[in-house]
């Protein structure tokens, strides 16, 4: 849908509709919206980028480096089936992204403990 680079635009989506634990009053926003960046691929790519930028703001790459983490282990269909999210993870964290077979978030949490 938006894996190709032609889906990159100046559209910025901050998808924090329900706030965050550290800032419950945080609201969502969309910036730089215009008729030139409203194609479905551009909107989806901006949404995925916004999700990962939010995660990255709470756990930047430096935190992973300081913990000597050398790869990101992905689990669950939300990430494994979404090439755009995968691309954004790799772009922001600059670490290899590997996947386990099957499972869900609970398996991912267990893997994080076991692989530590």
3-32 tens-digit pLDDT: 666 677 899 999 988 888 888 888 899 999
pTM above 0.85, yes or no: no
What is the pLDDT, as a whole number, of residue 2?
60
Structure tokens at 39: 């194609």
Is it the case that residue 108 has pLDDT exceeding 80?
Answer: no
């Amino acid at each position: 849908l938006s894996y190709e680079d032609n889906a990159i635009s100046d559209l910025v989506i901050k998808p924090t509709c329900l706030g965050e634990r550290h800032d419950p009053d945080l609201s969502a926003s969309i910036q730089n919206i215009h008729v030139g960046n409203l194609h479905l691929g551009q909107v989806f790519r901006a949404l995925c980028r916004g999700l990962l930028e939010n995660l990255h703001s709470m756990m930047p790459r430096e935190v992973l480096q300081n913990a000597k983490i050398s790869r990101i282990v992905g689990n669950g269909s939300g990430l494994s089936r979404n090439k755009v999210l995968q691309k954004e993870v790799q772009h922001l964290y600059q670490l290899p992204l590997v996947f386990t077979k099957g499972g869900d978030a609970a398996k991912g949490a267990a893997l994080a403990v076991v692989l530590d």
